[in-house]
Amino acid sequence: MPNPEPLQTLMMIAITRIFPEGGQATARRNAWAAMSSNATLARDRREADAALAAAVAHFEPAGLTPAAARRASTV
């Protein structure tokens, strides 16, 4: 029975010649997409934090905490 290793080696050489980056382009694309997604999520978290802080600041100067404001609005 012939040894399949030389054929496998030849196939790997052919594949690396056809696709010289050997998957690096896909890895870079995936890494960039993940980084962009993380940056978008971080920006959304900062915006939500700022909106929440502004909402809380709106109630505090009048002496109302968010819990007190909820109680006052149900009366």
pLDDT tens for each residue of 48-70: 999 998 888 777 656 666 677 77
Residue 27: domain span: 5-73
Res 60: pLDDT: 65
Q: Does the model's pTM come out above 0.75? A: no
- Domains in the chain: how many in total? 1
Mean pLDDT to the nearest integer, 33-62? 86
Classify residue 31 by burial, with Cβ atoms within 10 Å: 0-12, 13-18, 19+.
Answer: exposed
Q: What pLDDT digit, counting tens, does each position of 2-24 carry?
A: 666 777 777 777 777 776 665 78
